[in-house]
Amino acid sequence: MASNSAAQHLDFIKGLFAHPKNVAAITPSSPALARAIAEQVDPDVSGPVLELGPGTGVVTEALIERGIAPERITAIEFDPEFARMVRARLPKVRVIEGDAFDLSFVEHASLAGVVSGLPLLNHPVERRRTLIEDALARLKPGAPFVQLSYGTRPPIPAPRGVELTRAALVLMNLPPARVWVYRRA
């Protein structure tokens, strides 16, 4: 089961101070939030799963516990220390150190799911829209783009032809979080 160790908290706090705009919260995602996010990805749908901003890897672990083989997961992390930590803890997961807003390396319509822990509300609306629409174009039909958020509203309204749902409100997280799911119709 996903857990937040003292070492994960310490590494998270270091990342928060080093790159505050790139960290979404004051603590790593709780196991309850990680499970709520992972539950949105169907392990029986073939294809890779992309994780944007894995941080300490709590959601990555929840995806694996859900039944997604670690070899299917590619995680893109901007912070070198977070990337190092995820590689060390989950060596079968492909970790790319880089800009999660650049998905040019991913084939269109190939992904079984995208989960995002990126602090989208820290970015301009157009940048959010571009990322979500770019990710949706790379998902298999019906596959989810899952975004955690600490805001009361989704990061962007549903683009044309996309269904948007609030899949979860997780009170057992600091701060409480919402899980938003975008799917092409």
Where does the pLDDT of residue 104 fall: very low under 50, low under 70, confident under 90, or very high at 90 and above?
very high
pLDDT band at 185 (very low <50, low <70, confident <90, very high): confident
DSSP state of 93: S
* Structural domain contains residue 38: yes
Residue 1 has pLDDT above 50, yes or no: no
8 or 63, higher pLDDT:
63
Query: Tell me: the pLDDT tens digits for 119-177?
Result: 999 999 999 999 999 999 999 999 999 999 999 999 999 999 999 999 999 999 999 99
In a domain, 1, yes or no: no
Residue 99 lies in a domain: yes
Which CATH number belongs to the domain containing residue 47 in this structure? 3.40.50.150
Report yes or no on 142 lying in a domain: yes
Residue 7 confidence class, pLDDT cut points 50, 70, 90: low
Domain assignment of residue 89, given as a range: 6-184
Residue 12 reports pLDDT greater than 60:
no
Q: Where are the beta strands (DSSP E) in 15-152?
A: 49-52, 73-77, 94-97, 113-116, 145-149
Per-residue pLDDT for 17 more than 90? no
* pLDDT (0 to 100) of residue 2: 46
Confidence (pLDDT) at 28: 87
Phi, psi of 35 (to 5 degrees): -65, -40
27: Cβ contacts below 8 Å, ≥ 6 apart = 4, 9, 12, 174
Q: How many domains does the chain have?
A: 1
Q: Give domain status of residue 66, yes or no.
A: yes
Asked if the structure places residue 100 within a domain, the reply is yes
Percent pLDDT > 90 in the chain is 84
DSSP secondary structure, 18-53, as one string: H-GGG--SSSPPPHHHHHHHHTTS-TTS-S-EEEE-
Report yes or no: 24 and 53 within 8 Å, Cβ to Cβ.
yes
- Going by their DSSP bridges, the two strands 49-52 and 113-116 should be labelled as parallel
In a domain, 173, yes or no: yes
